[in-house]
Structure 1
Amino acid sequence: MTLLLTGAQPYGEQPRDLLIVDGVIREVAEPGTITAPEGAETIDLRGQVLLPGLVDLHVHLREPGFESSETVATGSRAAAKGGFTTIFAMANTSPVQDTAGVVEAVWALGRDAGLADVRPIGAVTVSRAGEQLAELGSMADSRAGVRVFSDDGDCVFDPLIMRRALEYVRAFDGVVAQHAQEPKLTVGAQMNEGAVSAELGLGGWPAVAESSIIARDALLAEQTGSRVHVCHVSTEAAIEVVRWAKARGIDITAEVTPHHLILTEERVRGFDARFKVNPPLRTDADVVALRAALADGTIDAVATDHAPHPRDAKEREWDFAAMGMVGLESALRVVYATMVEPGTITWQDVARIMSEAPARIGRADDAGRPIAVGEPANLTAFDPSAGGEFTEADLAGKSTNSPFLGMHLPGAVTTTIFRGVPTLREGNVVIPGEES
């Protein structure tokens, strides 16, 4: 396939035309100076920012086992809608992604969907039970080529198991992605611990339950010479631990979700379970600290923690509602609203935190590549002048449990190109084999 992209602004800079042939960027030149081959399709991107295809380190695709919430195919559609060309699928499926067979099955489902590169994350422990290491080596050697391992949804709470996992993955340059939650400090937790939880009479999730695990794992990573990644950092205290660890030279990285960059515990007052998530929404001070840490590089990446649930799992009493939010379709718009519009970061920074860094952490060597001649054509176009109320029409996955429904979000992803083929045109997902 041959594409000519006209008038795009790579990294928000000067307009350029790009010629894409057979999945590779062949030319980048001033507008109007490229002669497209016969049969080339032209996509007008004037006034739009062009970014490397987005990469999400933290997605729950639910398949196998929980297809009522999401499947690999529907999650891939949500990814395309949000501008993502590579997504890492978490292991809390049924059966759990703890063997080569299961991760290869998920990888194959992503390949067949054809909308994004789906990279399975392997479980750290068998059945995510925290008692015995899973088949880390065989998952790494499988066709899925797993390099990220996580029991996300549960903390690897046993320090000996965590140490052994870190030692094991070092052999093939893997990383353990930790859900930092000390379980004994969060029994019965329903929201952030503080004045609001006390007022509402809900069990509190204290900040120290996050920061204490991060500190422990940072020291274990230092001792083993291995890599540790912190999932969904949510508190100012956790940021300080990550900053301290990096200053010591420890190989630690961290991610923040879009919802933790914009929403606070005050949203819980309405007992709308769309705002129930783990880790919980925190305070205004935490949001300010998270934004600053993302800007200064203490937090390396944005990851959605896209967590679909059917309506009946959310539309119920707060105490019994499921935790989690969908986020693939809204992520770039939230980052634009919270970080770019205020002038805190540039579009180059957006490429770093939403493409380059997550690809590097996950060892997805063909993702997060620069917009340059000879590079793979995985691209995302964003129109800053668009935007409006976020509605269910903006969702392309199977579930609708977005915390942003009814909110105004600026900008819009208009075009996603995966391996040289548009998967999103004018905001509409293009399903392979169904093009008109």
Structure 2
Amino acid sequence: MTRTLLTNARLIDPEADAIIEGALVLEAGKIAEILVQSADLSEDHLTDTNRIDCGGAFLAPGIIDIGVKVGEPGERHKESYKTAGLAAAAGGVTTIVTRPDTLPAIDTPEVMNFIRERAEDDCPVNVLPMAALTKGRAGREMTEIGFLMDAGAVGFTDCDRVVTDTKVLARAMTYARSLGALVMGHPQEPGLSQGAAVTSGKFATLRGLPGVSPMAERMGLDRDIALIEMTGVKYHADQITTARALPALERAKRNGFDITAGTSMHHLTLNELDVADYRTFFKVKPPLRSEDDRQAVIEAIRTGLIDVIGSFHTPQDEESKRLPYEEAAAGAVGLETMLPVLLRLYHAGELDLPTLFRALSLNPAKRLGLPAGRLAKGAPADLVLFDADKPLILDRFKLRSKSKNSPFDGARLQGRVLGTWVAGQRIFTA
């Protein structure tokens, strides 16, 4: 069987918290060997082997992106599985965990089967779909969690539609706990956050925009933590973006609750002032926070309090963004831009690369029970090769996504993906 040998690479090992110079041997879709030094190469490694010189670039586990929006069914004009897959491959994302906020919502096994078949036919990267927690994401009646798990759902969430009926949510969590299902919540107090466009404060007042207090996130998380304690469910908070929510998260982990948390690339690299003069491409959900919040979230990633970083890829068409700020749709694309954008934190000395890939690859894999996300013998050969120092000016019109709503259009970045492998097959070459 033909093997692939990736030599002259700087291997990022998030498990060992290390970067080492070495090589990988790929065979049968898995990592067959890890060679720490070139001296370990033998004639056996060069026989029937496709040899690729990485030129000293970084080689890391492929990114596992939790919370990706794809427009199928219902909004294929915004993003299809084909275009999302191409964007993911170009961004070093080897697995996308998709959201169920489609039209209709992914709340039945039939819709789930449609999604899986479409993804298998069109998408070059791994696709793991989540299903809605309640029917129609309406918060009134829970979905058939067991049947949806049988159909391939890896988690359950109503996305940004917070379930306001606590009894319904408690029942759904209890049932999910009995099946070992993962529930993903959006920590937000819905009454306070309704109609908000930005985070409340001096900037919101000066711009005359409706704001939401950071306490809304804390209040939403407090309620969910109480229900986790009551039901014992496996829970993942999709986005923690404020300093005020972090003590509650720390206490829940210290108390032994089965809880993990994520944050977005945008909340790690932007703040509320980036909205400037009503720039709607910077409108995301939750809204961008203060610089103090941004720094607190970076520190939470560094210490491991926040486990996962995601793109929260949300494609929107031009018509929904070219509106007054209050009326414009929230969300930004991020599959293709996430790695170069997050490398800002590396170049600024705020996060090292093993820590970054622990949040991008290893921790998402652990939460979902996947063997991926690590450089280890026998692990899936899902990999990203990148030059961390390669400069680029981002042009949103060159993005592979159907929608081009990126807040980083025209930004000067450092970092370019050179190659992406899924199950040992190269699916992207720069």
Q: TM-score range by the shorter chain?
A: over 0.9
| C-alpha distance in 1 between matches for 2:42 and 2:175 | 50
> 1:202 aligns to what?
209
How much has 1:153 moved relative to structure 2? 2.4
| C-alpha distance in 2 between matches for 1:119 and 1:373 | 23
How much has 1:53 moved relative to structure 2? 1.1
> 2:277 aligns to what?
270
Quick one: which of 321, 338, 356 aligns to 1:350? 356
Is 1:341 equivalent to 2:352 in the alignment? Answer: no
> 1:429 aligns to what?
none
| C-alpha distance in 1 between matches for 2:178 and 2:66 | 21
Whichever residue aligns with residue 352 of structure 1, its letter is R
1:199–1:216 CA distance, 2 compared to 1 (3 A): same
Deviations 1:200-219 (A, max 9, x none): 11111211211101011111
Whichever residue aligns with residue 209 of structure 1, its letter is A
Whichever residue aligns with residue 148 of structure 1, its letter is G
How much has 1:34 moved relative to structure 2? 4.5
| C-alpha distance in 2 between matches for 1:101 and 1:366 | 28
Would the aligned equivalents of 2:384 and 2:419 in 1 still touch at CA under 8 Å? yes
Would the aligned equivalents of 1:80 and 1:424 in 2 still touch at CA under 8 Å? yes
> 2:156 aligns to what?
149
Is 1:17 equivalent to 2:23 in the alignment? Answer: yes
How do 1:143-182 residues align onto structure 2 when only pairs under 5 Å count?
144=152, 146-182=153-189
1:34–1:336 CA distance, 2 compared to 1 (3 A): farther
With the length of structure 1 as denominator, give the TM-score of the two structures.
Answer: 0.93
Quick one: which of 122, 143, 151 aligns to 1:134? 143
Would the aligned equivalents of 1:147 and 1:173 in 2 still touch at CA under 8 Å? no
How much has 1:374 moved relative to structure 2? 2.2
1:295–1:177 CA distance, 2 compared to 1 (3 A): same
| C-alpha distance in 1 between matches for 2:24 and 2:197 | 49
Quick one: which of 360, 373, 376 aligns to 1:372? 376
Aligned-pair identity (%): 33
> 1:419 aligns to what?
423
> 1:8 aligns to what?
9
How much has 1:38 moved relative to structure 2? 5.7
How much has 1:114 moved relative to structure 2? 4.3
2:403 is paired with a residue of what secondary structure? coil
| C-alpha distance in 2 between matches for 1:141 and 1:264 | 41
1:180 is paired with a residue of what secondary structure? coil
> 2:15 aligns to what?
none
1:321 is paired with a residue of what secondary structure? coil
> 1:113 aligns to what?
122
Is 1:92 equivalent to 2:101 in the alignment? Answer: yes
Deviations 1:34-90 (A, max 9, x none): 445666433221221111111011100111100111011111111111111111110
Whichever residue aligns with residue 108 of structure 2, its letter is T
| C-alpha distance in 2 between matches for 1:71 and 1:163 | 34
Quick one: which of 327, 332, 335 aligns to 1:325? 332
1:14 is paired with a residue of what secondary structure? strand
| C-alpha distance in 2 between matches for 1:249 and 1:26 | 36
> 2:401 aligns to what?
397
Quick one: which of 26, 31, 34 aligns to 1:28? 34
With the length of structure 2 as denominator, give the TM-score of the two structures.
Answer: 0.94
How much has 1:367 moved relative to structure 2? 2.4
2:133 is paired with a residue of what secondary structure? coil
Would the aligned equivalents of 1:125 and 1:151 in 2 still touch at CA under 8 Å? yes
Is 1:359 equivalent to 2:360 in the alignment? Answer: no
| C-alpha distance in 1 between matches for 2:86 and 2:42 | 32
| C-alpha distance in 2 between matches for 1:168 and 1:341 | 45
Deviations 1:81-133 (A, max 9, x none): 11111111100111210111111221222222241111111100000001100
Would the aligned equivalents of 2:84 and 2:123 in 1 still touch at CA under 8 Å? no
Deviations 1:114-169 (A, max 9, x none): 41111111100000001100111111112x2x231111121122211221121111
Deviations 1:173-219 (A, max 9, x none): 21111112222112321111111111111111211211101011111
How much has 1:25 moved relative to structure 2? 1.8
> 1:282 aligns to what?
289
| C-alpha distance in 2 between matches for 1:152 and 1:117 | 21
2:179 is paired with a residue of what secondary structure? coil
2:5 is paired with a residue of what secondary structure? strand
Instruction: Give the number of equivalent residue pairs.
Output: 421
Q: Where in structure 2 are there 5+ consecutive unaligned residues?
A: 13-17
| C-alpha distance in 2 between matches for 1:291 and 1:41 | 40
| C-alpha distance in 2 between matches for 1:396 and 1:366 | 28
Single out whichever of 107-116 and 124-133 deviates more from structure 2: 107-116
> 2:249 aligns to what?
242
| C-alpha distance in 2 between matches for 1:34 and 1:398 | 46
| C-alpha distance in 2 between matches for 1:346 and 1:118 | 28
How much has 1:28 moved relative to structure 2? 2.4
Would the aligned equivalents of 1:4 and 1:19 in 2 still touch at CA under 8 Å? yes
| C-alpha distance in 2 between matches for 1:245 and 1:421 | 41
Whichever residue aligns with residue 381 of structure 1, its letter is L
| C-alpha distance in 1 between matches for 2:371 and 2:119 | 16
Quick one: which of 66, 70, 89 aligns to 1:80? 89
Would the aligned equivalents of 1:329 and 1:394 in 2 still touch at CA under 8 Å? no
